[in-house]
Amino acid sequence: MGLLDTGLRRRAARALDRQLEYQRDKAARVKGREQQVVAAMIAHSREVRDKLEKVQPIAEEARVLEVGCGAHGLIFFFGARNGVGVDPLADHYARLFPEWQGRARTVAAPGERLPFEDASFDVVLCDNVVDHAENPRQILEEIARVMKPGAILYFEVNIHHPFYHVAASAHAGWRALGIPFEITPFADHTVHLTRRAAGALFDRLPLRILSETDDVAEVKRDRPRARHAGDLIKRVFFKNARYEVIAVREPVAG
């Protein structure tokens, strides 16, 4: 295993550790206000389902998978009778957020190695996940593998100005060398994807893209007031725009 592979695995492990720490803190902060969280989750799940059903109806018995369901995933209020969520931290989240985690079956597993047979699901969801993972491309390959022919995918990830990719790569380099200087936004992610890099995740996959959108223009327009150095950088180099894809699994060749 090379230095880059070792560094990537360490970054992925560190991102998971930080995510769990954040969600433990959040569980304490939202105690007594769970219904506010639930209302936001319901609204987001309905928004995504409505987008998909404009493309094709989702049958009541459809098998629905969310890859990276996290603490507050779509699957919990998606209205799927046969829904399942996968997340490396699923067992922790089930204990931290019992108010909604029990609404769907969850499995503790990485998105790069989904524990399901080929062509198992009618709908797959992956909402702002892959830039926290060890291998974003491998996750997309696994998603395509477990989708039935004709199954529909909802995919969303944050994208950034290329400046952040360069900065994140430098951060990864010194962390791989053992330099103990950590910048929080880069420690929470394994990669900062550009618009081009996000689109390239779908190259040569058996997925037909039906819709591909981003809100880069809106993020640029609504840049934050400069309260600190980070805001000054964001006013020049946009950050955290949304890249969204709806795609259908192509039929199996032959």
Q: What band does 3 get if pLDDT is binned at 50, 70 and 90?
A: very low
Mean pLDDT for 36-40 is 97
Residue 228: the pLDDT is: 56
Mean pLDDT for 90-102 is 97
Percent of the chain with pLDDT over 70: 83
Residue 1: the pLDDT is: 44
DSSP 8-state code for residue 134: S
Residue 19: the pLDDT is: 92
Residues 248 and 123: their CA atoms lie apart, in Å, by 9
How does the average pLDDT of the chain come out, rounded?
A: 88
pLDDT tens profile 114-139:
999 999 999 999 999 999 999 999 99
Give the distance from CA 76 to its chain's centroid.
15
Residue 123: the pLDDT is: 98
Residue 4 has pLDDT above 60, yes or no: no
Residues 97 and 44: their CA atoms lie apart, in Å, by 18
Nearest residue to 172 via CA among 134, 145, 199: 134
Mean pLDDT for 226-231 is 59
pLDDT tens profile 177-216:
565 655 666 566 788 899 999 999 999 999 999 999 999 9
Mean pLDDT for 226-253 is 79
Residue 161: the pLDDT is: 85
Give the pairing of strands 147-159 and 241-249.
antiparallel
Residue 69: the pLDDT is: 98
Residue 252: the pLDDT is: 77
